[in-house]
Amino acid sequence: MTASLRSHLSTIATWTRRSLVPMLAAMLVFGAALAVAGVRAGKYTGTTSEQGTVALTVAAGARKITHFKAVLGYNGKCGQGGGPGLTASPATISIGAGGRFSKNVTLSLTGIASPIHDPGRVFGKVSASEVTGTIEQFLNGKVNKCYVETFTARLH
């Protein structure tokens, strides 16, 4: 390969990098903005798969969930019996690209002699006027299949 051809190819590669990187970054930012743009701010209410209530607010700007509250109950997947309902109530949950959200939370049972505080997670997706997701408890660092529920909440 001649020096002239190498120089020409190097110039093309440099120009391509300088042009494509900002353009790709802009496309990612614009795409994320569009994904959240369809989400409507307001108060959402609904039920869990165990018929518990779920309530939350999608804040103006559709970038975060506030006032989330749901009770995670025993789902019967571990045999007869059950346990107390654990409340998930994180202060805020960020909404990311595509309306997806996920947050590790503390699940609590209070009003008893020895309050319970267990690790858990809330995750899901916000669409135009509906929020769907899952609440799960962790036991010894793994998902406790006895305490996993899905939920759906709609804008009111």
**Mean predicted confidence (pLDDT) in 126-130:** 94
Angle, alpha carbons 75-64-41 (nearest 5°)? 95
Contact of 91 with 65, CB cutoff 8 Å: no
What distance in Å separates the CA atoms of residue 142 and residue 149, rounded to the nearest whole number? 15
Residues contacting 138, CB < 8 A, separation 6+: 118, 119, 120, 121, 144
What share of the chain has pLDDT > 70, as a percent? 76
What are 79-108's pLDDT values in tens digits? Answer: 877 777 899 999 999 999 999 999 999 999
Three-state secondary-structure class, residue 28: helix
The first and second tokens of residue 98, run together, are: 């595509």
Total residue length of the chain = 156
What is the pLDDT of the chain when averaged over all its residues? 84
Point out the least confidently predicted range of 13-22, 45-54, 66-75, 124-133.
Answer: 13-22
Angle, alpha carbons 72-73-76 (nearest 5°)? 135
